[in-house]
Amino acid sequence: MDNSKIVIETHELTRRFGDFIAVNAISFDVKAGEIFGFLGANGAGKTTAMRILCGLLLPSSGKATVAGYDVYTQSEQIKRQIGYMSQKFSLYDNLTVRENINFFGGIYGIPKRELQQKTAELLERLQFEAEADKLVRSLPLGWKQKISFSTAILHSPQIVFLDEPTGGVDPITRRQFWDMIYEAAANGITIFVTTHYMDEAEYCDRVSIMVDGAIAALDTPQKLKQQFGVEDMDGVFLQLARGAKRSGD
Amino acid sequence: MKAVIVDNLVKTYDKGKVLALDKVSFEVEKGELFGLIGADGAGKTTLFRILTTLLIPDSGVARVLGLDVVKDLWDIRKKVGYMPGKFSLYQDLSITENINFFATVFNTTFEANYHLIEDIYVQLAPFKDRIAGKLSGGMKQKLALCCALIHEPKILFLDEPTTGVDPVSRKEFWDMLDRLKERGITIVVSTPYMDEASRCDRIALIQKSKILGIDTLQGILSQYKKRLFAVRSNEMFRLLNDLRQYEKTTSCFAFGEYLHLSLQQADADVPATKAYLEAKNHQNLIFKPIQPNIEDAFIELMEIHDLQNG
């Protein structure tokens, strides 16, 4: 891991919706190649913060740069440097696996010849060649998530944002998915991930926990457990989130 | 009389091409809190729809409170409460309007059965005039539970009530279920979160349309055959890869802070395994025997099942 290079930097980043402060002066850095866990209760402000960092929403105040670009003025450049995957939206059900890869590769601006080659490599690596021309709709959720993640990093982004990527999958698939995350991180892609599975928080290099719009804790899982005097990340989360004033999505 | 009897239930979709339930059988006792645990696509929702008379099975028998789900559907509908996985309330009605609506459908009133939902409703009361579409996830979930309870059902079917909900809200939801159970209501609940197994009296593990095992959590765990070790070092991903490539390893998976490892000859392989890892220069190695948890058991059952089915 290149410890010197910072790929996400925020300083007192704030977003208001009317009187409501969704994100309240959060400051943190994410280093290149790091697996950064972004946790919080429903309604804590995670989604809003993530949308800002993806260049989809303007902050109300504060600073943030992603891959060196300013979220206020360079959102288009940011979008080219990042990948995004969520459980809720990942692939088009009524396109085949190959069509989905082509579609997203095209959107990410990968030249046609390179895309063909990358598609072939991807299908081989996932051992999905036999399913390449099947509709995504007909595939098990675990497969969709693997294709979706691979598609999100096909253009070799600096950072990939994963929004609850493992919700609802079986325990083996969930672990295979984390193998892919580790591999991507080992290849230098920074991982920014949200999850409701506290065991997955342990797989992160560092974890931040948002409560009521602010970052209530940020450290390695080991240090957080020491700090709160608990055995696992579930214990850390419960202590912090029980004090939360607001709830919601 | 059992609360639920399911015997050899089969359901296919798409003219038999998609098998959703493959000879599923189980029973639920009266007053039991029964968990159906499995990933998305395992067949949980299909099973719930059959038990609530919304789908007809291809073959097999299902009885709820002694009534047949095909022949006696109207009687069953009066007696069951159903909370579907997707939020299914009227988004443009308020909290009280939704509860009133569901009460009226069942020929009762909010006031007559208020005592059934009081515990949960008091948490919603400050927002009672807010439309359902504007509620937070946790509040929608509570409202849906109120609507499923307002006609005094004998049995509740809850399809993934905690999916996508944070750990704190999940614990609160299970606390509510405990209080309902104390009142004698039978509850059948599905979840993809394996850790919630500990909140159920008994669980059925379901994967790829089949039941892998039915028992208490302790019973499921006691069937686990392999000797299991927890291992960690300073570099977890390298450790995982090294152990997966190791000739004596039978399985190795990440489990939070530790890897869970099983070895071909169990304890006899431990010294050689430690030496192997030290030779690979793993620092701060921790290696200790542990008891399996529900995910270990589920993974083992999945593997056994996959072997049996080629």
How crowded is residue A113: how many other Cβ atoms within 10 Å of its Cβ? 8
Facing residue for A141 by CB, picked from B39, B255, B298: B39
Residues of chain B with pLDDT under 70: 310
Which domains are seen in chain B, by residue range? 4-222 (3.40.50.300), 228-291 (3.30.70)
Amino acid letter, residue A1:
M
> What's the pLDDT at A97?
95
Calculate the average pLDDT of chain A: 91
**Ordered DSSP codes for B113-150:** THHHHHHHHHHHGGGTTSBGGGS-HHHHHHHHHHHHHT
Q: Which helix (H) or strand (E) holds A28?
A: strand A20-31
A237 and chain B in contact, CB less than 8 A: yes
Strand partners, B273: none
A244 and chain B in contact, CB less than 8 A: yes
> What's the pLDDT at B135?
86
The answer to whether the Cβ–Cβ distance between A178 and B254 falls below 8 Å is: yes
Facing residue for B166 by CB, picked from A41, A141, A179: A41
The string of pLDDT tens digits covering residues A176-186 is: 999 999 999 98
pLDDT at A194 over 50: yes
pLDDT at A249 over 60: no
**Alpha carbon distance, N-terminus to C-terminus of chain B:** 39
How crowded is residue A102: how many other Cβ atoms within 10 Å of its Cβ? 18
Q: Where is pLDDT greater, at A191 or B225?
A: A191
The answer to whether the CB of B155 falls within 8 A of the CB of B188 is: yes
Measured between beta carbons, which residues in chain A are less than 8 angstroms from residue B168?
Answer: 41, 237-238, 241-242, 244
Residue B160, min C-alpha distance to chain A (Å): 10
**pTM for the whole thing?**
0.89
A181 and chain B in contact, CB less than 8 A: no
> What's the pLDDT at A247?
58
The answer to whether the Cβ–Cβ distance between B163 and A167 falls below 8 Å is: yes
Residues of B with CB under 8 A from a CB of A: 38-42, 135-139, 163-169, 171, 192-194, 207, 236-237, 240, 253-257, 295, 298-299, 302
The string of pLDDT tens digits covering residues A21-38 is: 999 999 999 999 999 999
The answer to whether the Cβ–Cβ distance between B167 and A196 falls below 8 Å is: yes
Facing residue for B136 by CB, picked from A43, A173, A202: A43
Provide CB contacts within 8 A for B133, sequence distance 6+.
B91, B92
Under 8 Å CB pairs connecting chains A and B tally to 97
> What's the pLDDT at B137?
76
How confident is the model over A7-26, as a mean pLDDT?
A: 96
Percent of chain A predicted with pLDDT > 90: 78
Facing residue for A202 by CB, picked from B166, B256, B302: B256
The string of pLDDT tens digits covering residues A96-122 is: 999 999 999 998 889 999 999 999 999
The answer to whether the Cβ–Cβ distance between A237 and B167 falls below 8 Å is: yes
The string of pLDDT tens digits covering residues B266-298 is: 999 999 999 999 999 999 999 999 999 999 999
A188 and chain B in contact, CB less than 8 A: no
> What's the pLDDT at B85?
82
Measured between beta carbons, which residues in chain A are less than 8 angstroms from residue B253?
Answer: 171-172, 175
Facing residue for B136 by CB, picked from A40, A42, A171: A42
The answer to whether the CB of B261 falls within 8 A of the CB of B228 is: yes
pLDDT confidence tier of residue A90, bands split at 50, 70 and 90: confident
Which domains are seen in chain A, by residue range? 6-241 (3.40.50.300)
Residue B188, min C-alpha distance to chain A (Å): 18
Give chain A's count of helices (H) and strands (E). Answer: 9, 10
- Nearest CA-CA partner of B296 in B230, B237, B232, B245: B230
